[in-house]
Each structure stands twice: as C-alpha cells, then as structure tokens.
A and B are shown apart, each in its own frame.
Chain A
C-alpha cells in the first residue's frame, strides 16, 4: 500500500506556500525566479499525485508540458535578466517602482 495521495498534496501545498512567500519577500531577481520554479514544482507534484489517484496518464502529460514550458520560460527570463543587468548592475525587483503611477 503506498502513501495516501493527500500527503503528497499537503507537501506540495507547503512547498507552494514557501515559494509564494519567497516571491513576495526576496528582492534578488534570480532568487525570485527560483521561488517561481519551486511553485512550479509543487504544481507538478500535485499533477502527478492526481494522475496516480485517478489512474490517468493525462496528469503526467501535463507535467511534461509544464517542464518544457518552464524550461523555455527560464531561458527567456534569464536572457532578459542578463540584458537588464548589463545596463544596470545590481538591479533588483524593486527598481521598476520608478514607473509607478
């Protein structure tokens, strides 16, 4: 008998929360990005859990695609970060606030 799915879900919830809090608290752009990856992983874990509970491969397919998209997203995101850092060394996530209304 394997572990009940709800444990995995609880775990994923915890990781998701930690990731969310991290996005809100950290200012370093790269670390914020990593927290987003954490959240994605938590979601992946949830998908896989449900996939097992329902005995449906669809959940794993979803994870597959999430992985792909996350990869693409990281590539582009880091490219942007590099481009920004070239102009402004030491930029943080707080810097765009000068665009405030």
Chain B
C-alpha cells in the first residue's frame, strides 16, 4: 500500500478519498440518524458519492442514471412518504428492546466485513474477460451499454419493463382509498382509522 502513491495519480486518489469519506459518512448518517429526514438526506449524500465513484470507474452512464433515478426519484419518494405519514417525529423508543441485539448486530457486521474484505482483497477474481464487450472501446460507454442491453440482455430488459408496469399498478392500488359504502349505511360518527371507508370523510378525496 505504501508504494501506491507512486503508481496512482493524485487527482484520482483525492477523488477517491473524498468520495469514500462522504460515502461512509453518509452511510453512518443513515444508520445513526434519529430523525428519518436526516437519514434520508444522508442517503442522498451517499448516493452522490457512489455516483462519483461510478465516474471514476468508467461507468459514466450509470453515474448519470444513479443521480437521476436514485437520488432524484427514489429518495424524493422517501421524503414524500415521510412527509405524508408524518414520521418526522423521533423514534419513540430509543432503547433497544432486545438484549444483545446491538451486540449481535455489530458482531455479525464485523464478521461480514472481515469476510468480504478477505474475499475482495485477495486476488481471486476468476471471471472470464470481456465476454460481453469492452467497457468503452471501441464505442462509448453508453453505446456499449445500449448494445449489450438490447442484444444480449434483451429478455431481462423486457421483463424489467413489465416489472415497472406492475410496480406502477401496485402503487396505484396500494395507495387507493377504498370507496365508502352507500351513504345511508354508514353511522353518523365514524372512527377514523377503523375502516378504510371512513378515511374519505376525514381526509377528503
């Protein structure tokens, strides 16, 4: 590791380090943040750092998509839900219910880390080289990606399209408020939260 400075260019190293710090810091922020909104914003930071790292790794298209989709849509969705449900209050019980859950979690985490590090830093990659196509030569990264998706991985692509449709339908169905039964059947005073039909009275359509 000491001789690394000689083989790595400074800008790359600096970028990597900054992104790494933000990444880990953001991750810790997600896990440790008491307020869910804080956690969401830490997540944004994490995702941006990941996008930077993607660029570092010659995955430019993915970096862009990461920012647009992940940060721009998913996290926003999270924030919407947080706002909608009003969970910005602190988590009620800060005290862990299970004895030793935290200990177990940290222990397991340490083990996983150790193992994955072992796997990752040992030079054991045995995958075949370039079966699908080079990263960015001869075409640009986007073009290569597009070519791969629309030829070799066309079926998964189509299936994910279907998946997206399903997700949309599911979202609509899940978010739908049930129509109230006939007007005269309902008792005058309904208890909100008891029957889905009653919500319409409280929150309005």
Contacts and interface: CB of A to CB of B under 8 A. Distances in A.
Interface of A: 1-4, 6-22, 24-28, 30-31, 33-35, 37-38, 41, 44-46, 48-58, 60-61, 63-65, 67-76, 78-83, 85-90, 92, 94
Given A35-B30, A45-B53, A27 B65 contact: no
Contacts of B152: 61
30 contacts: A1-B8, A1-B9, A2-B9, A9-B116, A9-B117, A11-B24, A11-B53, A13-B116, A15-B46, A19-B31, A20-B112, A24-B108, A25-B96, A26-B31, A35-B31, A38-B43, A44-B62, A48-B54, A49-B57, A55-B134, A57-B145, A60-B141, A61-B148, A61-B152, A65-B156, A79-B173, A79-B174, A85-B87, A86-B199, A87-B196
Contacts of B58: 52
A78 B81 contact: yes
A4 B3 CA distance: 12
Q: Which of A18, A46, A49, A67 has the largest number of chain B CB atoms within 10 A?
A: A18
B69 A67 contact: yes
Contacts, number: 265
Nearest to B31: A22
Contact of A34 (B59, B78, B85): B78
Contact of B125 (A15, A19, A54, A86): A54
A41 to B, nearest CB: 5
Q: Which of A15, A37, A60 has the largest number of chain B CB atoms within 10 A?
A: A60
